[in-house]
Amino acid sequence: MMNSSKPNLLVGSPVERVEDLRFLRGRGQYVDDIVRDGLLHAAILRSSVAHGRIVAVDVSAALALPGVHAVIAATDIREALGAVPAIPLRQEQMPAFKPFEQPVIADGKVRYVGEPVALVVADSAAMAEDALDAVVLDIAALPVAVKPDSVGALLVESTGSNCAATLTALRGDADAAFKDAPYVRRERFRVQRHTAVPMEARGLLAEWDAVRGHLTVYGAAKVAFAVRRILAAQLALSEAEITMLESDVGGAFGVRGEFYPEDFLIPFAAKTVGRPVKWIEDRREHLTATNHARDVVCELEIACERDGAIRALRGHAHADVGAYLRTNGATGARNVAQVLSGPYSIPHIRIDVSLHVSNKTPVGTYRGPGRFEADFFRERLLDMAARDLKLDPVEFRRRNLIAEAQMPYALATVAPPLNIATETDTGDYRMTLDRCLVEIDWRNKIALQGKLIDGRFHGLAVSCYIEGGASGPRENARMVLEADGAVSVYVGSSAVGQGLETIFSQIAADALEMPLERIRGVFHGSTTHVREGFGSFSSRSTVMGGSAVIDAANNLKTAIRAAAAKRLGCAAADIAIDGGQALGPARTSIALTQLAGVSAEGSYASTKRTYSYGAHAAHVAVDPKTGQVAVLDYVAVEDVGRIINPHTLHGQCIGAIVQGLGGAMLEHLVYDEAGQLLTGSLADYLMPTASDFPSIRAFALEAKPTPHNPLGAKGAGEGGIIPVGGLIANAVAAALGSLGVEPRELPLSPPRLWQLIQAAQ
């Protein structure tokens, strides 16, 4: 252990995931596996009306049913707390968003199908579900807004508008650059509403200890400390009076772990009845009530020189954020504005993004929020412009990629009041493009472009992108030397299925120069582990949490030397740590097992974002008779700075690509004019399966480490999904070029593509 002459080489090695063994043996513990004495179960009555005034909520019949302990509505919460709390924004906080925050339960009005109106607590989940039918709900329907231009259906009357705000991202002077541009093209694109569907839906178990005045909540994920802070303010408790415990989490992808109405309702119910209360979301609830994502329309305009140099980009996007702005509901829109230029050197940019509320489920972040949409808009327009300018689309991109000599390169700045600026760090963007072309054999396959072979048109496309990661401001870790000489690692980051326990074990073992098996475990996400934590989002865990682990390891070595020096009667500088011994002068030593309990904290702070980058290429075949698209080959190349574990990185990339293909070709949350969700089950909301996309190849590079953290690593959890929509649409357009088909909207489902083919013919 800790022998500086023989450093470990675990970082960079394809170590098998240490957490997988318990999952494969069925020993994972998810929130629904947790049982407490006296446990009760909750079910939620949700509005079946998209927009209306609540005339009455009669719970008397439900309360009279056997096994029912409580039925909670807005009046009960107001009576207990003096008001019905609202859910504040965690990110992109603006005064203009305040009126559009969501109350924790419908209060006087409902604004989307699925909004909580009442909560039943009973002896069993079945009893609670049955009792929902006994609640008499009287709602006077109001006009429904399902589109940004809906007339006569104001969601928040006091604001006078369904447009919450417009964000603007600026670089240079786009309007001036367009005035005498040799080439200009304007197009309108749309990315549909869809969402993440993790294997494990949301769930919570809350327990109130009246004697201690302490609340414990099981089922935390992603941002446990932020959720605790919000809940404490709502319940008028101190943060110290609430413990959030993270169990195993079966996927998150941005949608899980944010603060939802249930994050208040279940703890409030437990405090009200004085017994533990559990709620587990079913799949219909998930599709109806958990954050949706995407749903953006964009009018985008490009100005170029005749040689293909992009002079300017400008546009106006309209984001449908659903009925309320909650937690991170503006993040996707902000990203659309700021990263629409992607990896390209574009001197003049102006992108406006208007956030419109509607009578739909509120949106939040879903893997690559805003970036997936922005890349679809930009990459489609680039292919169109290249064709107009009679330029090869690959050379057009290569001509405009940010050069390594331009690093760091400033992206557009989101104007006040957000005032968010960012810049790339390191990269050779042309390198990943060239590698991607080699891997897919572009030189030979391009001969297939547009060809009709055995009844299918073939098409190829390539797309370039950047992935922002490492959101600050900081992260924390703690290490403890155990009685057997092993080390336990505690982190503020959350594990949401991304292999965090493995990654942090590798980093910790290398930093301590000890075998991997001497890392007792990585304990994550819960508010009991460290004094302050920030969680896992925006591809930050490895960079921020891993860097905090390095700092904690260095501090632990210092603490061990100090403790050993005190026992051996020498200076700490005289102590060397080798294997399981602390060695002092004159051959004195002490076993580390005798220093059990020595601990140290570590922290890492940074406001510098990291930017992974890469290129994807696809070869598709389109059946014009059915509109069916087959992905024959898919190649991804991404430079992520330093690679911690090639295995986990590969899994992240492939999984993200499949999610992107689902969003590009299958998944769609469809509402009718009355605000009713028509795709509220997995029979209607189509998900990709293992057999749908068998030919995906991913290559990870570490050519350009970042200087912004001690690992040199960049975030890499979202890059796989970002370029997929634009890439597939461009490949389909290339395949059907002879028919004049120009996809401008996702998803490219067989019916939609068949209609485009018929219209073109």
- Calculate the alpha carbon distances from 436 to 120, 539, 616, 645 in Å: 55, 23, 6, 21
Distance of CA 515 to the CA centre of its chain: 33
One-letter amino acid at 352 equals D
What digits encode the pLDDT tens for the residues 697-756?
Answer: 999 999 999 999 999 999 999 999 999 999 999 999 999 999 999 999 999 999 999 999
Instruction: Give the sign of the dihedral formed by CA 77, CA 80, CA 84, CA 86.
Output: negative
Rounded CA-CA distance 680/46 in Å is 14
Element (H or E) spanning 353, and its range? strand 348-357
- Which residues of the chain are under the pLDDT cut of 70? 1-8
Q: What is the pLDDT of residue 4?
A: 41
Residues in the chain: 761
DSSP state of 412: P
- Paired tokens of 662: 């689902």
Measured CA to CA, the distance from residue 742 to residue 732 in angstroms comes to 8
Q: What is the four-CA torsion angle of 706, 707, 713, 716, rounded to 10 degrees? A: -40
* Alpha-carbon span 263 to 271, nearest angstrom: 13
Strands 136-141 and 452-453: unpaired
Spell out the residues 6+ positions from residue 683 whose beta carbon is closer than 8 angstroms to its own.
none
**3-state percent breakdown (helix, strand, coil) of the chain, nearest 5:** 30, 30, 40
Q: 3-state DSSP call for residue 280?
A: strand
Closest by CA to 560, choosing from 590, 521, 598, is 598
Classified as helix, coil or strand, 292 is: strand
List pLDDT tens digits, range 284-308. Answer: 999 999 999 999 999 999 999 999 9
Q: What is the pTM of this model?
A: 0.96
Residues β-bridged to residue 319 = 296, 355
Tokens of 90: 């965690």
With CA atoms as reference, report the closest residue to 718 among 541, 538, 545, 543.
Answer: 538
Q: How far apart are CA 687 and CA 569, in angstroms?
A: 66
- Cα–Cα nearest to 542, from 649, 386, 654: 649
Give the helix/strand (H/E) hosting 21: helix 20-24
Phi, psi for residue 37 in degrees, rounded to 5: -60, 135
- What is the spatial distance between Cα 433 and Cα 531, in angstroms, rounded to a whole number? 43
Half-sphere exposure (Cβ direction) of 533: Cα atoms closer than 13 Å: 37
In percent, how much of the chain has pLDDT > 90?
A: 96
Cβ-based burial of 521 (10 A; exposed 0-12, middle 13-18, buried ≥19): middle
CA 272 to chain centre: 33
Strand pairing of 610-623 and 456-469? antiparallel
C-alpha 716/C-alpha 710 separation (Å) is 16
DSSP string, 104-120: SS--SEE-STT-EEEEE
- Strand-pair partners of 184: 303
Q: Strands, DSSP E only, in 262-334? A: 277-280, 293-304, 310-322
Amino acid at 515: P
Question: Cα(428)–Cα(442) distance, rounded to whole angstroms?
Answer: 20
Burial of 497 from C-beta contacts in 10 A (0-12 / 13-18 / 19+): buried
Q: Do residues 228 and 244 make contact, with C-beta atoms less than 8 angstroms apart?
A: yes
Going by their DSSP bridges, the two strands 696-701 and 628-639 should be labelled as parallel
Cβ partners under 8 Å of residue 247, min gap 6: 29, 30, 31, 33, 34, 218, 219
DSSP symbols for 480-500: EE-TTS-EEEEESS--SSS-H
Q: Quick check: 700 and 653 in contact, CB under 8 A?
A: yes
Can you tell me the distance from the alpha carbon of 341 to that of 349, in angstroms, rounded to the nearest whole number? 8
- Domains of the chain, each with CATH number or no CATH: 20-29+472-605 (3.30.365.10), 427-462+611-761 (3.30.365.10)
Kind plus residue range of the DSSP H or E element containing 654:
helix 646-665
Give the per-residue pLDDT at 690.
84
User: What residues are paired with 357 via a beta bridge?
Assistant: 322
* Sequential DSSP letters for 424-478: -----HHHHHHHHHHHTTHHHHGGGTT-EETTEEEEEEEEEEEEEE---SEEEEE
Question: What residues have CB less than 8 Å from 37, skipping those under 6 apart?
Answer: 276
Determine whether 408 is exposed, middle or buried from the number of CB atoms within 10 Å of its CB (0-12, 13-18, 19+): middle
Round to whole Å and give the CA distance between 756 and 356. Answer: 28
- Residue 1 confidence (pLDDT): 46
- Which residues have CB under 8 Å from 93's CB, separation 6+? none
267: DSSP letter: H
Q: Give the N- to C-terminal CA distance of the chain in Å, as an integer.
A: 71
